[in-house]
Amino acid sequence: MRLLVILFCLLLPRVATAQSAATLVADQVRVTDQEQLIATGNIEVLYGSTRLTAQQITYDRTRDQLDIQGPIVIKLEDGTIVMARAGQIDPKLENGILQGARIVLDQQLQLAANQIDRREGRYSQLYKTVASSCQICGNRAPLWSIRAEKVIHDSVELQLYFENATLQILDMPVFWLPRMRLPDPNLDRATGFLVPEQRNTSQLGTGIKTPYFVTLGNHRDITLTPYVSPETRTLEIIYRQAFRHGDLRIVGASSNDTLEDEKRSYVFASGTFELSDDYRLTFDVEAVSDPAYLLDYGYSDKDRLDSAIALVRVTDTTLTQGRLTYYQTLREDESNASLPPIIADASYEARLFPKLGGTITVGNSIDTAYRYSTTDGDQGRDVTRIGAFGRWENYWLLSQGILLNVAGQLRTDVYHIVEDSRFPTNDTRFSPSVQTTLRWPLAAHGASGSTHIIEPVVSLAWSDSYGATVPNEDSTRSELDPGNIFDVSRFSGDDAIETGRQAAAGVTYTRLGYSGVDTTLSLGRVFHETDQLEYTKSSGLDGAQSDWLFGIQAQAPSGFLFDARALFDEKGRITVTDSRIAWNNADIDLSAAYIWQARDTEEGRTGTVSEWTLDAGFQLNESWSLDLDGRYDVAADRPVRAGIGLGWKNECVNINVSASRRYTSSSTVAPTTTYGISGSLTGFSTGRSATGPAAGCRK
Q: pLDDT band at residue 695, thresholds of 50, 70 and 90?
A: low
pLDDT at 56 over 60: yes
Residue 689 contacts residue 108 (beta carbons within 8 Å): yes
Looking at the DSSP bridge assignments, the partners of residue 81 are: 75, 104
C-alpha dist (Å) from residue 377 to 45, 113, 418, 545, 569:
88, 81, 9, 32, 35
**616 domain-assigned:** no
The residues, ordered by sequence, that sit 6+ positions from 16 with a Cβ below 8 Å of its Cβ are none
Q: Tell me what pLDDT residue 127 has.
A: 93
- Which residues are bridge partners to 350 per DSSP? 318, 362
Q: Average pLDDT of the chain? A: 89
Above pLDDT 70, what percent of the chain?
A: 94
Amino acid at 59: Y
Which domain-ending residue is among 607, 638, 656? 607
Q: Please answer whether residues 157 and 179 qualify as being in contact, where contact means their C-beta atoms are separated by less than 8 angstroms.
A: no
Domain-embedded: residue 242: no
pLDDT tens digits along 515-563: 899 999 999 999 999 988 889 888 999 889 999 999 999 999 999 999 9
578: enclosing H helix or E strand? strand 574-584
Q: Does 553 reside within a domain?
A: yes
**How far lies 37's CA from each of 28, 34, 96, in Å?**
11, 9, 18
When pLDDT is averaged across residues 504-518 and rounded to a whole number, the result is 94
Q: 330-371, pLDDT tens digit by residue?
A: 988 888 887 899 999 999 999 999 998 999 999 999 999 999
Burial 433-451 (b: 16+ CB within 10 A, else e): bebebebeeeeeeeeeebe
* Ramachandran quadrant class, 74 (left: phi over 0; alpha: psi -120 to 50; beta: rest): beta
48: left (phi over 0), alpha (psi -120 to 50) or beta: left
Residue 12 has pLDDT above 50, yes or no: no
Q: List phi, psi (to 5°) of 493.
A: -125, -155
Burial code (b: 16+ CB inside 10 Å, e: under 16) for 308-339 equals bebbeeeeeeeebbbbbebbbbbeeeeebebb
| 559, 576, 607 - which closes a domain | 607
pTM of the model: 0.82
For the segment 6-23, the average pLDDT, to the nearest whole number, is: 43
Residue 532 lies in a domain: yes
Q: How far apart are CA 87 and CA 89, in angstroms?
A: 6
**Is residue 509 included in any domain, yes or no?**
yes
Other CB atoms within 10 A of residue 645 CB: 16
What's the confidence (pLDDT) of residue 45? 81
646-674, pLDDT tens digit by residue?
A: 999 888 888 999 999 988 777 677 788 99
Q: 3-state class of 580 per DSSP?
A: strand
- How far apart are the C-alpha atoms of 683 and 681, rounded to whole Å? 6
CATH number for position 82:
2.60.450.10
Nearest partner of 266 among 301, 240, 241, 231, judged by Cα: 301
Domain end call among 67, 94, 121: 94
In a domain, 79, yes or no: yes
Q: Which domain holds residue 81?
A: 1-94
What are the φ/ψ torsions at residue 16 (nearest 5 degrees)? -60, -25
Question: Residue 687 has what pLDDT?
Answer: 44
Q: How far from chain centre, in Å, is Cα 518?
A: 28
Count the domains in the chain. 2
Q: Does a structural domain hold residue 464?
A: yes
337 within domain boundaries: no
Distance CA 392, CA 484 (A): 19
Q: Nearest Cα to 458, choosing from 519, 402, 539, 498?
A: 402
232/253 Cα distance (integer angstroms) = 12
